[in-house]
Every structure is written in structure tokens, then in C-alpha cells.
A and B are shown apart, each in its own frame.
Chain A
Amino acid sequence: MSLIVKKVAQLITVFIFLYGIYIIVHGHLTPGGGFAGGAILAGAYILQILAFGRDPLHLKKKETGASISESISILTVLILAVVGLFIGTKVFFNNYLPSGKIGELVSAGTIPLYNILIGIEVAAALLTIFLALIIYKEEIE
């Protein structure tokens, strides 16, 4: 890609990334949440890959990283949910953290944590799918 594309992509990626994080952490207050924000985060990564070359070896490393962070974030969701089996009313998916004030950023107990983890998971999963497709294309060529 040309220098202009690279520079513009670099500038815009920052804002896309921040916007994705904003959507994720405000998931319990405003529309959107883990899934929508995660998709935006994945968009930022994909823009970077599209603008700056596609070295297959490098991409494979990235794919391993993405798939591992995907598994880890889902596992953490499960662990957070299972902790509910031991705290408070002792049920699966129990919301055991203090719920705070309505409308504040740190409130709603465990829900923002789930949102953040789901955001990571969705971003990693979409990135993995994208990488799998371009690695496949590189291998055919």
C-alpha cells in the first residue's frame, strides 16, 4: 500500500480502537456492549493488517496469539461464573460483586467484567477468522 494509505490507517486506527473500548466498558449503561465493541476492535486490527503488508509467517504467529487469547477470555468468563457457585447465594452466574449506583461507570457488579471479556473474545474470534482466510489465500498462491 502507498504511504498515504499507511499514514491515514495509522491515524484512524487509534480512534477506532478507543471507540471500541468505549463501547465495551459502557456496555451496561448505553446500547452496545461486548459483542458490538469487540467487532469494532477487530475492525481496527484488520485495518492495520490490510494497510501494512501480509507476511504469512508473521500472520500465523498472530493467529496463534488470537486463538489463545480467545480461549483464555472464555475460560475467564466461565471461572467468574463458577465463582458464583461459592459466594453469596451459591448459584451459577451469581452476581456477587456490589452493584453500586445506577448510571456510574463502575457499577452493576460482574456485568462489566463479562462485557470486557466478551469484547476480547469477539475481537479475537473475528480476527482469527480473518487471518485464517488470508493465510489460506497466501498458501494457495
Chain B
Amino acid sequence: MNSLIPLFIIIPLATAFVIPIIGKLTSSFAKIITPAILLILCYFSISFLLSSNQESYIVGGWQAINDIPIGIYLVLDGFSKLILCIISILGFLVSIYAITYIKEYTSKNNFYALFCLMVAGMNGVVLSGDIFNLFVFLEISVIASYALVAFGVGKKELEASFKYQVLGNIASFLILFSVALLYWQTKTLNIADISNILKTHDSTAFLTFTQILLITGFGLKAAIIPFHAWLPDAHSSAPSPVSAMLSGVLIKAIGVYVIIRLFFNMFVFTYDIAVTITVLGALSMIIGALLAINQKDIKRLLAYSSISQIGYIIIGFGIGMMILSKGGKQSIAVLAIAGSLFHMINHSVFKGLLFLGAGAVEYRTNTRDMGQLGGLSENMPITSTTTLGASMAISGIPPFNGFFSKLIIIIAAVQANLYVLAALAVIVSIITLVYFLKYQKSVFYGENRNFKKVKEVPFAMSFSMIILAILCLGLSLIAIPSVREIVLDQAVNSLIDMDKYINLVIQH
């Protein structure tokens, strides 16, 4: 299975450059090949997830000298397997949805090429075991996303994309700066090697400075609250399939994933850093939800809700870090981290579905204003039902998946004696319910004034939404211990056990 790892980068990258050439000859090539390759990647990633072997791959065959890695490493461990699965499954469903949705835009080939490029970049970030290479892949995926956000080329889209580019470039600068600082200090770029060297170092002010820079940089990419300004514009102005990808996968793969990977597997985190991350998470959870209540634009509301849900994911990891750095009970830390990972999977499913549903509404009515919409549940039964399912999942109503993941995070917070955090998580969950009830009422229920003749969306669009709605219910099965062992335990173990990751790379 060894030689299959680079395929996750080769296949989407090659497709991204084949599309502009062959797409000039036949117009239907792009929309067939993109779902096809993502289906293949789905198959590979799921078979990786189900198998238990974890391995590293040396690009170019540059073997380690005296146990010091010199080449570029691709590392496939439990955590990256899980994220690869999320990327390919959501990418596949979104690309099918896009077949019909993107018809109203010009230059469809460019859309698919950029889409594949974004997927290639995200796969690269997730697989890379080398901090500079990680930066390069991160730039590939964000530059593709800048172009995709501006795909509508209207005034609003261009403004959103510009804002996104300015803040994104500040983030990239901070990340590159901290990579340079780390290289200066440790003389290596390999994550496992850096972690090996930092283990013997004492925690200095220099390291803390680098850590803060990294939190700021990746916090900007993940839109944690003080750094969130670009997200509501960018995610609401992009074409809906792209919004689903950005909110569902991109902010996790290049933001949350990298923060967690670097702090669990590279740095020896201190209690202070753990508290900082938890506080940032709690802030985004609360403020994101409060800002979402008053939104009039349906996609803007969803974008703010993304900030709030990313907060949940971050506090789960934060609780785990706080317990681990104090040397507390490992079982509670495992519970918190598992809850976070579970919420990460769930959020990409239901937020993807919500954005696709909002896209379906916009596709038929050409408006995103809640004041004009209303009573669409009779005209669009599939969109209405699937969105209702996703809304209940995101507000944490049993038996949907969101309930279980939030429950696990809250139980972990209570067991760690962080009662305030647990109470806040419950309260924010209720606020989430409030604004999703408002969303449901003003879009699908209530009086239908303006859109009496609207029809249901075509099959390709409803297909993806139905599959995602089934996943919303089906993923609650992960709460059952025997299923959890298959899906989450590998990822949790590879995060908690730092030596495991190092051994994967260095004793190859």
C-alpha cells in the first residue's frame, strides 16, 4: 500500500492541469472527470481508514542519514487518514452538486480546475510531514480558494475576495516567519525531527513567541474569533458548492488540523498555551453564535455559525491539552479529543449540507434575503427536509450526529471540572437552536409571498443533499463504542502519543 500515498496529491493535481487542455475540446469532460477522481480518492481514503497500518513515504527516495531525515516526507497516520476521508467524501458530493449549479456561470473548466487544485493543496497539507512543504501546499489551496471566492466576478464577490486575500496574506506571512524562526532554532524542517530536538530544549521565550505567531497565522486561516473578519464575506459570496467546501473542509484542513498537528506532535505544549487556545475557542463559540442571530442573509448566517462551531472543535482540543499538560487523567483528555474529532466530521457534513441547501434556495429564487423568502417547504420538499435535518443536527437535537459530539465535549468539560465552559457550551447550543429556528421559519415556513411557482432543484443537486442528510443521521453511530474504535481511536492515539508520530518518520 506504500506507493498509494502520493496518489492523493498526484491525481487531483494532474486533473487540475488536464482539464484546461482537454476541456477546450469537449465541454463535458471536466464535470465527469472531477467526481470520478474524487470517487477514487474516497475509495482509497476509506480503505486507509479501515486498515490499521500507519506509514511514512519518502518523496524522491532520499533516505535518512544517521537517523536525521533529509528528504520530503509524506506521513499517513490516524489523524491525517480521518481528514483525508472528510475531504474526499465532501469533495465528491459537492462536485456532483456543482454539475447543475455551475451551469449559470461562464468558464466552467476554470471552476473545476481550481476545485481540483484546492483539493490537491488540502491533501498535501494533511499528508505533509515537513513544515515548509506544508506551507507550500497551504498556499496552493488558499490561492485556488481566493479565485473561487471571486468566481461570480460581481462587485461583492471581488470585495470579499480582496478582503480574504489581504488577511490570508498576512496569515501566510506570519506562518512563513514562524517557519523561518523554527528553522533558525532547530536547523531542520521535518516535523518529527523538530519535535525530537525541542524535547531536549527548555521552554524559552523564543519558542513561546513562535507558538503565538503560529496560533495567529493558522487562527487567521481557521477564522477563530479575533481573526474572523474575512470569513462571513468570503463564505457567503462564493458560489454555494465552494462555500460548502470552504466552510466544511478548508478551514479545518488548513486551520484547525495544522494547529492541532503542530501543538500535539511538534511542540511540547505548556499549560499557558493550552489555556490560550481554549479561551480563543470559547470566544469564537460565543461571539460567533451571538453575531449569527441578527443576520438577514442566509449564507452569512451560516458563515457566522461556522465560526461558532469551529469554537466547539477548538475547546474540545483545548480541554484535552489542558489536562495533558497538567498531567491529569488521560481518559478525560481522550474523551475531549475524541469529541472534538467527532464534531469536526459532523460539522463538515451538516455545514456542507446547509450551504448546499442555501445554494439550492438561491438557485431557484435568486435571492439570499430572509425578508423576501418564506414558505418554500411546499415548493421544495427535498431541500426543506434535508435542511431541517441539518439544522437539528447543528443545534444538537438527538438522534442527529451533532447531539452526540456536543454531548461528548460537554461531558469531558464537566469531568475536567471546567463547569463554566460546559455551561457556556450548553447555552451556545441553545442560541444555535434559536437562530436555526429563525432560519427555518423565514425560509421554509411562514407565508410564501414572492415565490409561489418555484420548483424543486434538479436531481444532481438533490442527490448530494440527500446523501449528506443520511450521513447526518448515520454518523451518530460513531457514538457506539465499537464503531468509535474503528473511526476515531487511531486518530486520538496518534495525537496523544507523541513518540508514535516521531517513530513513524525517523525509524523508517
Cα–Cα, bound, A88→B3 (Å): 14
Is A91's CB under 8 angstroms from B10's CB? no
Counting CB contacts under 8 A, is B40 at the interface? no
B336, chain A: closest CB distance, angstroms:
37
Is B60's CB under 8 angstroms from A95's CB? yes
Is B20's CB under 8 angstroms from A68's CB? yes
What 1/0 flags go to A72-108 for Cβ under 8 Å of B? 1011001001101100111111110000000000000
Closest to A93 in B: B60
Counting CB contacts under 8 A, is A71 at the interface? yes
A68, chain B: closest CB distance, angstroms:
6
Is A75's CB under 8 angstroms from B18's CB? yes
Cα–Cα, bound, A83→B29 (Å): 25
Assess A72 versus B59: contact at CB under 8 Å? Given A78-B14, A82-B10, A85-B3.
no
What 1/0 flags go to A28-69 for Cβ under 8 Å of B? 000000000000000000000000000000000000100110
Write out the residue numbers on chain B whose beta carbons fall within 8 Å of the beta carbon of A64: 24
Cα–Cα, bound, A84→B14 (Å): 16
Is B60's CB under 8 angstroms from A91's CB? yes
Closest to A94 in B: B61
Is A92's CB under 8 angstroms from B21's CB? no
A98, chain B: closest CB distance, angstroms:
16
Q: Which of B427-462 contact A (CB under 8 A)?
A: none
Is B60's CB under 8 angstroms from A72's CB? no
Counting CB contacts under 8 A, is B13 at the interface? yes
The number of residue pairs between A and B whose CB atoms lie closer than 8 Å in the complex comes to: 45
Is A72's CB under 8 angstroms from B61's CB? no
Is A72's CB under 8 angstroms from B21's CB? yes
Is B61's CB under 8 angstroms from A74's CB? no
Write out the residue numbers on chain A whose beta carbons fall within 8 Å of the beta carbon of B13: 78
Q: By CB atoms of chain A within 10 A, which of B14, B57, B60 has the most?
A: B60
- A interface residues, tally (CB under 8 Å): 20
Is B14's CB under 8 angstroms from A75's CB? yes
Write out the residue numbers on chain B whose beta carbons fall within 8 Å of the beta carbon of A84: 60
Write out the residue numbers on chain B whose beta carbons fall within 8 Å of the beta carbon of A89: 61
Cα–Cα, bound, A29→B270 (Å): 46
Is B59's CB under 8 angstroms from A71's CB? no
Is A78's CB under 8 angstroms from B58's CB? no
Is A92's CB under 8 angstroms from B17's CB? no
Q: Which of B172-217 contact A (CB under 8 A)?
A: none
Write out the residue numbers on chain A whose beta carbons fall within 8 Å of the beta carbon of B6: 85, 92
Cα–Cα, bound, A89→B61 (Å): 7
Is B59's CB under 8 angstroms from A91's CB? yes
Write out the residue numbers on chain A whose beta carbons fall within 8 Å of the beta carbon of B58: 91
Cα–Cα, bound, A138→B6 (Å): 43
B325, chain A: closest CB distance, angstroms:
38
Cα–Cα, bound, A93→B133 (Å): 15
B129, chain A: closest CB distance, angstroms:
14
Is B10's CB under 8 angstroms from A94's CB? no
Q: By CB atoms of chain B within 10 A, which of A71, A72, A74, A90 has the most?
A: A71
B138, chain A: closest CB distance, angstroms:
19
Q: By CB atoms of chain A within 10 A, which of B10, B17, B18, B20 has the most?
A: B17
Is B61's CB under 8 angstroms from A91's CB? yes
Cα–Cα, bound, A58→B14 (Å): 29
Binding site for A on B (CB under 8 A): 3, 6, 10, 13-14, 17-18, 20-21, 24, 57-61
User: Can you list 20 A-B pairs with a CB-CB distance of less than 8 A?
Assistant: A68-B20, A68-B24, A71-B17, A71-B20, A75-B14, A75-B17, A75-B18, A75-B21, A78-B14, A78-B17, A84-B60, A88-B61, A89-B61, A90-B3, A91-B59, A91-B60, A92-B6, A92-B59, A93-B59, A95-B61
**Given contact pairs A67-B20, A71-B18, A92-B57, a sample of 18 additional A-B residue pairs in the complex whose CB atoms are under 8 Å apart:** A68-B20, A71-B20, A72-B21, A75-B14, A75-B17, A78-B10, A78-B13, A78-B14, A78-B17, A81-B10, A84-B60, A85-B3, A89-B61, A90-B3, A91-B61, A92-B10, A92-B59, A95-B60
8 closest A-B pairs (Cβ-Cβ)?
A92-B6, A91-B61, A93-B60, A71-B17, A89-B61, A71-B20, A74-B17, A75-B17
Binding site for B on A (CB under 8 A): 64, 67-68, 71-72, 74-75, 78, 81-82, 84-85, 88-95
